[in-house]
Structure 1
């Protein structure tokens, strides 16, 4: 008999232990307390309170929706989605719950689910600006940027004063403007010996999923002659953190190399460091090969880089280097650039190579200081640049004597779809 009493008492105690507590009290006051806890970084206590209220009031949708939001804040997107879906099945006319549920999918990097939710929400709230904005965000995350732009344009048709959408539209237009045309004009003024030398550049660039391609036409007026050079630059994406550079150019003018070509590999490293190694080749009467490499470092809005050139020759190789500093403002199109360099490199210094004078030219001594300021329009579709600099350069036919070269340049680029 005592044996059976013990079993009954054990079963009763186990049942009582496993039963969930039932909420007793004012749900509104308890909800208010839970909100205060949640906003005071006591999220676990708030969630315990909210779940307890729901034991008696399972369809108190404000509470369940808020519980889902707290899960989302904690990164528990799966639990948040479960609660949001429950509420929306019971009451699909809750706009704030749709917004929170779609944001939860975006935070969890599930843009396809977010897009499906946004479309469902729009069936209940047609042309709602916040839902349309979230739909565009989902399309953007899916890399369907053209669709995102159409969605934002539809939003602005109905709600032309929606400031967030206006700003977002500008960013989308910039991101799908894969074409750029550019013009550049510069002049070098010499303190003695040479007349002013003028340089012009027309450039067209196209971004593709494989990298970018640039078509360039160079025109210069110097040494009492005018000549042109045509080039193609490629920047292929090879792997994550690795891209290349390839160049080929031709000219029928003695002002430029008859043929030029080059290649370089660029690699990203930890700690925001990047480096590169490559070469350039310039064919005048003979071919001059230049070996080059660079190292760069991003720190906040600052970028430091050093590029070196080594040109083999007799009696010794020519070496030059340039230290550059950029101070970025609000984006990559707006920055101040400062360059300090020493040494002569035929890749940068544009002298005539003729009469087997390569060794004389590449061993010239030179020092330079360049300043540049680049800025863009509000929509980032127009980019302007102002450059100026001064060089202290050895005279090729009078070694040991120098002249000063003052440089001034203007540039303009236009991005378009």
Structure 2
């Protein structure tokens, strides 16, 4: 039986519609996935950006903002570029506008935190990263970023909690180990703290001091074995000094121990010959106290006994900023009249971000500005300068090289070189 003409036409039209719909489906999907014009322009600017010419990149973002006023993605991109370029006020203005208009934009809070971190505002950085953590609770990078700022603020327990949370979220185990180690007390003497689970260490050192005016050179040697603890260490030292054709030996115990919150002490006792170039006995007590954001105060007493007794009283202030450490120490030796005073400034850079590798320079003047273990610097210097390089060649082996110059008040110039080898297990 023949179908009615109208029914056949309807079926034919329906078939054509279905075919057209199937043919158009990939095109529709592509249109939905393809980036819009603004996204393409942002991608092009990022691809063509030049770290050596950020002004041009910022100008392109500004032109794009003129076409799309208040657009959050463009403001975020320009704000990040301002921050990379060190224009922190402009970066803050852009990024604050983004988070005010879009308070749930996680990337914007991350960028704002970075900007505050780079401009040395740890509390504001921690606050911004906290919003990032709230918006991206499963992102380990957010926890790590906030933990670093809490560490800078001296909030060790909270920082450790963030690092532990990042570990549970799948962060790199090696990075987490380094971050946890970084929460150990930062000390003015980084060589007395071990990381990566090592419990023992040893070092062998040699110092050579040459004098002008025909004065005989000095040679000093030391061997140290040190036991590391979670928050301190104890070292046994053997010292040998060869000065003025006289060679003496001494032994010493040198310990670093935690006290109360953000405080630790250096306690040292040294026993030498009954007479000679090394003191009969020497002891030191120095207490360090962390305060504020990265500041450290200290007070010390040193006692040296030769044929008579000499004491030194010191106060110091140190500052940790990122991978930099600086310290000033004022020291007083009682005596006739007002006694004598000395000044010492030290600047150290941990160029790899750990406690094993650093460069440092020190400048000093006055009496016994840099008391060493050999008791050989109980004298006056008009001015002295020293440099040192500490480098870890492998996880177990490292070395330290040093050099210095001093203008001795007695009329002698001094040139000093030193070297040490370190190992740990």
TM-score bracket for the superposition, by shorter chain length: 0.5 to 0.7
Q: Secondary structure, in 3 states, of the residue corresponding to 1:288?
A: strand
Deviation at 1:179, TM superposition (A): 2.2
Structure 2 length as normaliser, TM-score? Answer: 0.56
2:267 aligned to which of 232, 238, 246: 246
Question: What residue in structure 1 maps to residue 200 of structure 2?
Answer: 179
Deviation at 1:325, TM superposition (A): 2.0
1:325-344 paired onto structure 2 within 5 Å: 325-331=347-353, 332-344=355-367
Question: What residue in structure 2 maps to residue 411 of structure 1?
Answer: 420
1:17-416 paired onto structure 2 within 5 Å: 109=161, 134=171, 136=173, 174-252=195-273, 254-331=276-353, 332-345=355-368, 348=371, 365-377=380-392, 379-395=394-410, 402-416=411-425
- What's the CA shift string for 1:335-363, capped at 9, x where partnerless? 3322221112286379989xxxxxxx96x
Seen in structure 2, the aligned counterparts of structure 1 residues 267 and 191 have a Cα distance that, compared at 3 Å, is same
Counterpart contact for 1:112–1:138, Cα < 8 Å: no
Counterpart contact for 2:388–2:403, Cα < 8 Å: no
Between stretches 315-324 and 105-114, larger displacement belongs to 105-114
Counterpart contact for 1:277–1:292, Cα < 8 Å: yes
Seen in structure 2, the aligned counterparts of structure 1 residues 76 and 365 have a Cα distance that, compared at 3 Å, is closer
Partners of 1:201 and 1:320 in 2: how far apart? 26
Partners of 1:340 and 1:276 in 2: how far apart? 19
How many positions carry a matched residue from both structures? Answer: 292
- Give unpaired runs (5+ residues) of structure 1: 1-25, 48-72, 82-99, 119-130, 145-172, 354-360, 396-401
Q: Secondary structure, in 3 states, of the residue corresponding to 2:278?
A: coil
Structure 1 length as normaliser, TM-score? Answer: 0.57
Q: Secondary structure, in 3 states, of the residue corresponding to 1:175?
A: coil
Partners of 1:136 and 1:352 in 2: how far apart? 45
- Give unpaired runs (5+ residues) of structure 2: 1-27, 40-70, 77-97, 105-128, 147-160, 182-193
Partners of 2:311 and 2:32 in 1: how far apart? 78
Partners of 1:137 and 1:107 in 2: how far apart? 16
